[in-house]
Amino acid sequence: MVLFVRGFILFYFIFAFRTYIYEGVQLVDFLNIVVNFGIVLLISIWLISISEVKNILNFVILFVFVIYLFVLHSLVTYINIPYYITQKYIGNPYVNFERINFIPFKTIYSNLFGRVVAPVTIMQTAGNLLLLLPLAFALLSLKIINNKYKAIMVIFLTTVFIEMLQLLDNFIASGYMYSEGGQRAIDIDDILLNTLGGLIGIALFSIYKKLFLCKVLDRKKFTTEI
């Protein structure tokens, strides 16, 4: 089963590569594919190698988890390498503080109770809440991490890493013409929501373990006794 998931990752990588060839883009776009999806590919293979897959349910969780990693990267950590190669660099990079929020709950309140509340602002808040929930659940259910406290620490460090990477991306991009200081928003509320989502993922794992896994273990024990 693990080999099948590895094969799927490789297939995804080749598909993305061939898509770029079909569109007839330049060498820099190949580099973009190799760097962005290549890194996720290596991380996915490593996580697969340390995952515990004992039944079909674990396999399904692992399969979905791998897809989730590629989607997660595309949403929050994707680096547009062609932009940095093809655009004009004018120097003098700076930190755009207009795109940074250090005040806890400011963005959450504005999105949910501010003057302009729209479906997109609600979805943005919900999206940040759910962003790392699957990561927490998968880490525990696949026994990549066995300790819930370690799991939440990994979630917290992951969300901090995402925000720092986005800050760095903005900083580097600000040195390019027409960048407007970068396109990403760095927000402490994202860290709060991502971490809360991780806690929800851990709670869901506890329910999953109590309601499902315990029944499976009891059934196996009963069968062995018979």
Give the pLDDT of residue 143: 94
The alpha carbon of residue 97 and the mean position of all alpha carbons in its chain are separated, in whole angstroms, by 24
Token pair listed for 7 = 């094969």
Quick one: which of 17, 126, 133, 9 has its CA closest to 63?
Answer: 9
d(CA 189, CA 16): 33
| pTM passes above 0.75 | yes
Give the pLDDT of residue 214: 61
Give the pLDDT of residue 223: 44
Whether the CB-CB separation of 53 and 59 falls below 8 Å is answered with: yes
Contact partners, residue 10, CB within 8 Å, separation at least 6: 41
Long-range contacts: 26-30, Cβ < 8 Å, 24+?
A: 26/82, 28/81, 28/82, 28/85, 28/86, 29/82
Give the pLDDT of residue 141: 94
Evaluate if residue 108 carries a pLDDT over 90.
Answer: yes
Whether the CB-CB separation of 111 and 125 falls below 8 Å is answered with: yes
Contact partners, residue 210, CB within 8 Å, separation at least 6: none
∠ at Cα 138 (35, 184), nearest 5°?
Answer: 45
For 187-226, write each residue's pLDDT tens digit: 999 999 999 999 999 999 999 888 876 665 545 543 444 4
Give the pLDDT of residue 226: 44
For 57-92, write each residue's pLDDT tens digit: 888 899 899 889 989 999 999 998 888 988 999 999
Token pair listed for 67 = 């897809």
- Identity of the residue numbered 94: Y
Strand partners, 89: 176
Evaluate if residue 5 carries a pLDDT over 80.
Answer: no
For tokens 């929020």, what's the residue?
101
Domain boundaries, the chain: 1-86, 95-226
Q: What is the largest CA-CA distance in the chain?
A: 76
Please give the span between the terminal C-alpha atoms of the chain, in angstroms, as a whole number.
Answer: 30
Strand partners, 187: 101
Strand partners, 135: none
Give the pLDDT of residue 37: 82
For 22-40, write each residue's pLDDT tens digit: 555 567 777 887 888 888 8
More confident residue, 202 or 4: 202
For 142-173, write each residue's pLDDT tens digit: 999 999 999 999 999 999 999 999 999 999 99
Mean pLDDT across 90-117: 93
